Amino acid sequence: MGQEQQVLIRQLESLAAKFSQVSASIARTVDRLRQPEVAGSDELMARIHASWSNLALPCSSALGLAEALTDSLLRVIGKLEETRLAAEQARQNAFRVLDRVLTIVHRHQADFPPLLECQARARELRRTLLEAPWSDLYPITKPLAEGPYRFPALLALVEHWQDLDDERWKNLHEIVAQSFGRSLAVAASRGDLALPEEKG
């Protein structure tokens, strides 16, 4: 809970206490109004006037606090909407990575088990992302956004295996080997894997 919210809560608690006091005072005035001997007396009229005066300040404070609460709630809602939109964008970015992984083919072997296993994991992750509420997306999508990590590393190795410098090639090869097995890493780094637009 933010400091601004804590201050508003304390102000509301104080206001509630004031309303309680004024309410008790009004109740006492009403009881006295029911007594014939004081009805219409100057003392009673003074009490009624005092009760209304005491009620005016808390009401004014309540309106001010309501405006402050509204502003605070609107800011919170705005931040939540920004977070939701960012999470949905992260989900779509992750889908793009996973969908490309699912299109990878082996140039010489239609049913290459390491690739099939990797793509099964990609499909499972995609299903998880599809079903996850936006509030749970960041722990899942963050690794995909931070690349090269697992699936992004595999894509980078498949697409650029001929153009990578030694250090980059080594790093990607190790990530893919640790994530999906050495056989898939070797196939990717030798150019045995391809995306549809590269197949030839």
The pTM of this model reads 0.61
CB 193 within 8 A of CB 105: yes
Q: Domain total for the chain?
A: 2
* Whether residue 33 is found in the same domain as residue 7: yes
**CB pairs under 8 A, 24+ apart, for 81-87?**
83/134, 84/134, 84/135, 87/134, 87/135, 87/137, 87/138, 87/141
Question: Domain of 112?
Answer: 82-194
pLDDT, tens digit, 9 for 90 and up, residues 19-47? 666 566 666 666 666 666 555 555 655 66
**200, part of any domain:** no
**185, part of any domain:** yes
Q: Does residue 187 surpass a pLDDT of 90?
A: yes
Last residue in a domain, options 38, 55, 81: 81
**32, part of any domain:** yes
pLDDT of residue 48: 58
* Whether residue 177 is found in the same domain as residue 134: yes
Last residue in a domain, options 81, 108, 126: 81
Cα(136)–Cα(177) distance, rounded to whole angstroms? 28
The β-bridge partners of 106 are 193
* Packing angle of the helix pair 182-189, 113-131 (nearest 10 deg): 100
**199, part of any domain:** no
Residue entry with tokens 């509301």: 12
pLDDT, tens digit, 9 for 90 and up, residues 115-164? 999 999 999 988 888 887 767 666 666 655 544 478 999 999 999 998 88
pLDDT, tens digit, 9 for 90 and up, residues 188-197? 999 999 998 7
- Listed in sequence order, the residues at least 6 apart from 144 whose beta carbon sits closer than 8 Å to its beta carbon are 90, 93, 94, 97, 98, 150, 151, 152
Last residue in a domain, options 27, 55, 81: 81
* Whether residue 89 is found in the same domain as residue 73: no
* Whether residue 42 is found in the same domain as residue 117: no
* Whether residue 49 is found in the same domain as residue 73: yes
* Whether residue 119 is found in the same domain as residue 56: no
Write the single-letter amino acid at 69: L
Q: Does residue 85 surpass a pLDDT of 90?
A: no
pLDDT of residue 113: 96
